[in-house]
Every structure is written in C-alpha cells, then in structure tokens.
Structure 1
Amino acid sequence: MSGKIIFFEGRNFQGLSYECISDCSEIASHLSRCSSCRVESGTFMVYDQPNYTGQQYLLTTGEYPEYQNTIGFNDCIQSCRVVPVHKGPFKLRIYEKDNFEGQMHELTEDCDSIQDHYHMSDMQSCNVMEGYWLMFEQPNYEGRMFYLRPGKYKNLREISSDDVRFNSIRRITETV
C-alpha cells in the first residue's frame, strides 16, 4: 500500500477536501489552498511550493489540524510525494566535495553529526544506493530537511535555493 493523505482548505479539517494516494505536483489545481491535512496511511514528503520545491517536511500517519505551526511552513502545502516503504538495508555514500570527490564515507545507519563522526568540513555530493533518506541542515536532525531518493547527487547545493550545509542524515523507516 502506498499511502493516503487528505488535504483540507480550512484549518481543523474544514471546507473542501482532496484525497491523494500518489505524488501530486500541484495541489492548487484541486483546492484553492490547503490549511490542514490528515495522513491516513503511509508517509509523505510535503512541499511549500509546487513541483516538489521549496521548504519540505516529512509527514507520517496522523492529523495536522494547523500544520503551519507544527512544521513551520509560512504558507500552505503546494505539492506532495509518497515516500515508498523500504524493506532491506540502507546504504549511502557521502563525499566532501561535489562530483563525488574528496573524503568519502559509507553510511548504513543514521548520523546525528557528520562533522563529529566523520570530521568532514563539508558534504557536497552523495550517492544514495539503497533506501530513502532525510538530510538536515543542523546536527541532531534539526533545521530544514531534504528528501533523498536512490540516485546520484553530484552537487547538493542544487537541491536548495541558498547555500545550505548538511550536518545530519537519517534513514526514512516506517517508525521515523
């Protein structure tokens, strides 16, 4: 099962609603705005801009009656992606420089501080080999988060509109 999320125009699940069971690049084509949501099953990455851009946040099963305060979005959710369930090992290689150069470390578990554990001054590229991951701009899984699917990311600066540095990484498991 992939998941199910219901978006509502008003806070506290009021007004028109839109039910979503797959990726949606533009919620505004279904609702004039989205001010609350309920994740009935699965895990979703939500974005404050259309086409999976802007600030992002991971939502798990539960109710979000006024999510702006909870997740820190200034405006409403504009797009969402289903995060598939990954059963099996997790594997990610991080590199100090872009284009997979410089120091390299392979991760199979969460890392609460890249600087403390790997003594890397920066992380500018990575290769997600297995599983789905969240990168955070601050240690201890705090600050803005960024969703990583399997694939090669030769320049992590391209996934953010500003010059964000990544300082911690967590696997997306069913119990995040």
Structure 2
Amino acid sequence: ESTPTTKAGTFSSRHRLRIYERPEFSGQMMEVSEDLANLQDRWRYREVHSAQVQDGVWVFHEHPNYRGRQYLLEKGEYRRHVDWGALQPSVGSVRRVTDL
C-alpha cells in the first residue's frame, strides 16, 4: 500500500507518538509515526490511557475513521486521558497535524 506524496509528507519523520495501555506510561506501548484511520488494526486494546507526543502535533479521535470527539495533543506527556481533555480513554483513530 503506497501513501500519496503530499506537500506535508516531508514532515512525516518529525511526527512521533507513543501510546500506552495504562496510565502513567505503563503496560503495552506502541510508537506511531503515521495516521491510523482505525487504531485497532494495529493496537489490540480498545483504550489509550496515556501518551507521549515526542514530535509533531497529533489529533486523537474518539472513534475510527476520524469520527467523534477530537483532542489536540502537542509535544509533551499525557499521564492520563483526562490530561488531553477526554472523559473516556477511547481512541479510535489518530492523525498527524501537518498544515500548521
């Protein structure tokens, strides 16, 4: 599967995100560097309880296919889902912000 080349594609290497199964960066961890329309295709958990944005700016979507509530995460550490403003730890899709 090839990804279309876009003007923003040059920034893809500058987007890095780590998501965790449990609060306080514990449990299973996955590193993400691209948009994922359905997080469960790669992440076997239904929830994300903590995250570290290492590079770039990301949007968490409550449901797959970039639907539901959106949460903007800038570089930094989010020890619990409430730190990014979510009432529930449901994350269905993630997207890089490339047009700053």
TM over 0.5: yes
Equivalent residue for 1:135?
A: 60
Please give the TM-score of this superposition, normalised by the length of structure 2. Answer: 0.79
Say how many residue pairs are matched: 90
How far off its partner does 1:127 sit?
0.3
CA distance in 2, matches of 1:153, 1:113: 21
Q: Distance in 2 between matches of 1:99 and 1:162?
A: 17
Secondary structure of the structure 1 residue equivalent to 2:94: strand
Contact 2:61/2:93 (<8 A) preserved: yes
- Name the amino acid aligned to 1:146: Y
Q: Percent identity?
A: 34
Shift >4 Å, 4+ stretches: none
Instruction: Tell me if the contact between 1:103 and 1:120 (Cα under 8 Å) persists in the aligned partners.
Output: no
**Please, what TM-score do these two structures have when normalized by structure 1?**
0.47
1:59-93 Cα offsets, whole Å, 9 max, x none, are xxxxxxxxxxxxxxxxxxxxxxxxxxx78511000
Gaps of 5+ in 1: 1-85
Which secondary structure does the structure 1 equivalent of 2:91 belong to?
Answer: coil
SS of 1:166's equivalent?
coil
Find the counterpart in structure 1 of residue 91 from structure 2.
166
* Structure 2: gaps of 5 or more residues: 1-10
Residue 155 of structure 1 is matched in structure 2 by 80
1:98 aligns with 2:23: yes
CA distance in 2, matches of 1:151, 1:102: 19
CA distance in 2, matches of 1:156, 1:121: 13
Instruction: Select the structure with the greater relative contact order (CA < 8 A; seq sep ≥ 6).
Output: 2
Q: Secondary structure at the match of 1:135?
A: strand
Aligned counterpart, 1:110: 35
